[in-house]
Structure 1
Amino acid sequence: MSEQDAVPGFAVAVVREDGRWRCTAMDAAVLTELDAAITELRKVRSTGAVFGLLGVDDQFFLLLRPSPRGISLLLSDAAAALDYDIAADALDLLRVEPPSEDDEEIYPEGALDILADIGLPAAELRVIVGEVDLYPDEQLQMIAQRCGFADELAKLLDTITQ
Structure 2
Amino acid sequence: MGAQRAGNKSASSNQPNKSNTNQSGQSNDLEGFAVAVVREEGRWTVKSLDSDALTSLSAAENALRELRSSGAVFGLLDVDDEFFVILRPAPSGTQLLLSDATAAVDYDIAADVLDALHVEIPDIDPDDLDDIEPWEEGDLSILSDLGLPEPVLAVISAETDLYPDEQLGMIAQRLGFSGELAAVLDTLPR
Q: Structure 1 length normalisation: TM-score?
A: 0.95
Confirm whether residue 12 of structure 1 aligns to residue 40 of structure 2: no
Kindly provide the amino acid, as one letter, of the partner of residue 134 in structure 1. Answer: L
Kindly provide the amino acid, as one letter, of the partner of residue 132 in structure 1. Answer: T
- Structure 2 distance, partners of 1:148, 1:58, is 23
Shift of 1:98: 1.5
Q: What residue number does 2:167 align with?
A: 139
Q: What residue number does 2:81 align with?
A: 58
Task: Provide, for residues 97-156 of structure 1, a one-character-per-residue CA deviation record: whole Å limited to 9, x for no partner.
Answer: 122215712100000000000010110000000110100000000000001101000111
Gap runs ≥5 in structure 1: none
Task: Provide, for residues 57-115 of structure 1, a one-character-per-residue CA deviation record: whole Å limited to 9, x for no partner.
Answer: 11000000001111001000000000000000000000001222157121000000000
Aligned length: 162
Secondary structure, aligned partner of 1:61: strand
Kindly provide the amino acid, as one letter, of the partner of residue 107 in structure 1. Answer: W
Secondary structure, aligned partner of 1:95: coil
Shift of 1:54: 0.3
Secondary structure, aligned partner of 2:53: helix
- Structure 1 distance, partners of 2:56, 2:28, is 11
- Correspondences of 1:65-144 after superposition (within 5 Å): 65-101=88-124, 102=128, 104-144=132-172
Q: Quick check: 1:6–1:32 contact (8 Å CA) kept in 2?
A: no
Q: What residue number does 1:49 align with?
A: 72
Kindly provide the amino acid, as one letter, of the partner of residue 166 in structure 2. Answer: E
Higher relative contact order (CA 8 A, sep 6+): 2
- Structure 1 distance, partners of 2:30, 2:81, is 10
Q: Structure 2 length normalisation: TM-score?
A: 0.82
Secondary structure, aligned partner of 2:33: strand
Structure with more strand by fraction: 1
Stretch deviating more after TM superposition (2-11 or 86-95): 2-11
- Structure 2 distance, partners of 1:13, 1:158, is 15
Q: RMSD of the TM alignment (CA)?
A: 1.6
Kindly provide the amino acid, as one letter, of the partner of residue 120 in structure 1. Answer: L
Write out the 4+ residue segments of structure 1 that deviate beyond 6 Å after TM superposition. none
Kindly provide the amino acid, as one letter, of the partner of residue 155 in structure 1. Answer: A
Q: Of residues 28, 34, 37 in structure 1, which corresponds to 2:60?
A: 37
Shift of 1:161: 3.8
Q: Of residues 180, 185, 189 in structure 2, which corresponds to 1:152?
A: 180
